Amino acid sequence: MSKSKLIKMMCIGLIGCAVYAEATEGQVQSGKEDVVHEMSTPLAENMMSQSPINIINSIEKENQTSVTFNYKGSLATIENLGHTVQLGVTKGQTITVNDKEFDLLQIHFHHTSEHVIDGKSYPVEAHFVHKAKDGKLAVVGVLYEEGKTNTSFDSLGELPKKKGEKRAFKENINAMDLMPGSKSFYTYSGSLTTPPYTEDVTWVVLKDSPELSKSQIGMVQGAMHKNNRDIQDINGREIIEKD
């Protein structure tokens, strides 16, 4: 190998490590995410369990995955990060997947939806990002469809439109209010949908879709650019469903 090629490979590796460190710091430690798909896509080229996916051919199993929500706190802040609007939460809110507990870190939005179900896309998707004590991640996806005004979503107020704009919530808003009443779900093993596309993420995508009015959807779209990642190959992964 020539010296010039070796130097080039070392530079690419250093850039990749820097992107990984920056994104990991953003997504997991502080609960924020940084989206630069164009620069970071090569990091995921050889990964086989990427997200999002088209949810098709799901199966039921005898030993079903169980998911229990324990959101006893409230939303704390709302902030425009430039690429998304993120909701900060008070500590102590968890979900339990089988016997493993995950702490709720933050909630953020994508438009259009990242996941699709049987090829159907939705105008907005919310991600409830969780982390266990061992560092493993679990993300709950809620797909919103256009319909009537969502009074719980209205409680968020006007979404901040400028990057860096942030405010605290004065009223007590529970994160569960942003979810459908039914907690039927699909689950599969995937990845973060933003750099560094870390795999071994437990995805729980709720089957039922809360409605947002056309104006509410427009408010989401007006607060951020289109920020959904392309659909990824399933590569033989099991998609389990539970009613």
Whether 95 and 89 have beta carbons less than 8 Å apart is answered as no
Q: Which amino acid is at 154?
A: D
For the chain, the 3-state helix, strand and coil shares in percent, each to the nearest 5, are 20, 30, 45
Q: Which amino acid is at 165?
A: E
Give whole-number Cα distances, 125 to 42, 55, 114, 205, 210, in Å. 25, 14, 7, 10, 10
Segment 140-167, tens digit of pLDDT: 999 999 999 999 999 999 999 999 999 9
11 pLDDT more than 50: no
Average pLDDT over residues 205-218: 98
24 pLDDT more than 60: no
Strand 75-80, strand 85-89: pairing: antiparallel
Q: How many helices (H) and strands (E) does the chain have?
A: 4, 14
Alpha-carbon distance of 88 to 160, in angstroms, equals 14
Alpha-carbon distance of 103 to 94, in angstroms, equals 4
Specify the pLDDT at position 19: 29
Give the range among 53-67, 105-119, 121-135 with minimum mean pLDDT.
53-67
Specify the pLDDT at position 45: 75
Question: Does the domain formed by 3-242 have CATH 3.10.200.10?
Answer: yes
Alpha-carbon distance of 99 to 133, in angstroms, equals 13
- The pTM (predicted TM-score) of the whole model is 0.85
Domain borders along the chain are: 3-242
Half-sphere exposure of 130 (CA within 13 A, CB side): 26
12 pLDDT more than 90: no
Q: Which residues are designated catalytic?
A: 83
